[in-house]
A and B are shown apart, each in its own frame.
Chain A
């Protein structure tokens, strides 16, 4: 996996609480058996006025001019500023794949839903939790005549914007290291294969009923 250390980009403010994964990538696009191809249908029902379907030519779609992603200021964005409980609902990792493929590398919000938050780290997308008042302050900065440029430094755990002091953020050290080093998550667990095997032997002895249909 590629590493993530410093990212610089422009920020799009999405002023809605409880953005659920059904909105991030609607279900009709989940029929794909691939990890790619979801970016053009990110926020499909909000970015477009016509109904989205697999295979529809994006150039022939009707754009919803009122949706912030279609505002000329916010083209080519790579950081998303959101509100509370971002990514709630379905466990579909397709939501993270869609954001990433669209170009989003970092989502900043006051809180995230658990499964979405986990899914982000598996895909080099950095979710950053900040206090409500800082989020509010960023919304203020982000809605000016030009999109806000932000530098996200994962090493120093700081967000930098030109016109203000740096904003520190917290992240679990293990998750930080995995992103910076681009570690393979499964590979990291495999380093504990012996422990897993030993646990399994003990577990099978103490709760054999869990394993009684393994061979049938």
Chain B
């Protein structure tokens, strides 16, 4: 391990280049479920980033004391305790948002992103870089959530943060809300298109075809 790891790189790498959602396929479940409005996406992003940063820090601090055979259980219990704290805070101070998020806050426990980062990074690094890595991945996740949440709320309701931006046709404006944007399929489509856009800009992320020989043109007869 180098004497002084490049903290800036650890922080910015997961934003687009190593984005946890679009490249590592981690934490997709909650990324899609809570993005009907920008407020819920933002709450979820903040909760996940806090849990991820703290849990990678804690696990990295005690990484030498966790027996290898039971480390998954130990990690899950640490994550679950942090999630309970966040859930109680949300229920106490943001009751409405907490109801809108339903069970998805609790599901941060089993969010593959959290366990993925603690397993892949925090277990082998010092607490400070581990926390920076957790924070960076949290930001990368938040970025995707906010983009999708913003698009869905803007196109589905013509609003952002509940404030009307596009004048609705019902109220004399020109915008007819696309109610499909509020339903489940649109989240899949938007994330698929987002993945495509990122891979179009960064072609090295594209996956190789599974059957390259099937795509080769037929030999001329």
> Bound pair: A and B?
no
Residues of B near any A CB (own CB < 8 A) = none
Give A contacts to B, CB under 8 Å.
Answer: none
